[in-house]
Amino acid sequence: MSDGNQKTVRPSHIRRTYILDRPFQLKYILLLAGIGAGGIGVFGLLAHRVHVSSVASGVDGGQTLLWLTGLGTLGAAVALGLFGLVFTHRVAGPVHVMSLYVAALAAGRYPRLRPLRRGDELKLFFDRFSEAVTRIREREADEAYALETVLEALRPVATTPEALEALGTLSALHTRKRQAVDTPTGSTFKSVA
């Protein structure tokens, strides 16, 4: 069979929307574009001044332009690196905190959620995440209450070994749910400030 006869398999999903969170994405797109344009603009003005002064004086300005290019490159790298550090900290901090919360949820505990720092990003996502954790916790509390009601109703009538074993299983499930809901974890999470 030749390679030309095989059909190309395309993915079933194609993402065409690139701006998902308009305020967040546009803020940083414009900030990065501004830093880049500003840096290149300053470099261009300085290079033009060096060129004009070297032509006017009849001196070769190549060495000066080379130094100016090196300093401009280094300055842009430092500015973008510092911006990257601040930006990634504002995103990585909330992601780190939420990953700790997810680990607590996976272990069957409900974390005591704290608000994000003032400059953090992903606040809308964190609010939705917090709302989901609260709703799951409330549902778990409702289930614990329902189990408690069932246990109270069945205790007097459970006489067979199978029924007593089933009550023991329900009681253990009730205890686990009640502990998860009543004792949220919070002291094991470090601040990412």
Which residues lie across from 84 on neighbouring strands?
none
pLDDT level of residue 191 (50, 70, 90 thresholds): very low
> For residue 192, what pLDDT is reported?
40
- pLDDT given at position 187: 45
Whether pLDDT at 50 is above 90: no
| DSSP SS3 for 132 | helix
| pLDDT tens string 2-47 | 555 666 666 666 667 777 778 888 888 898 888 888 888 888 888 8
Per-residue pLDDT tens over the stretch 137-160: 999 999 999 999 999 999 999 899
Residue 190 has pLDDT above 60, yes or no: no
**Nearest one of 25, 172, 11 to 91, comparing CA atoms:** 25
Number of neighbouring beta carbons within 10 Å of residue 176: 14
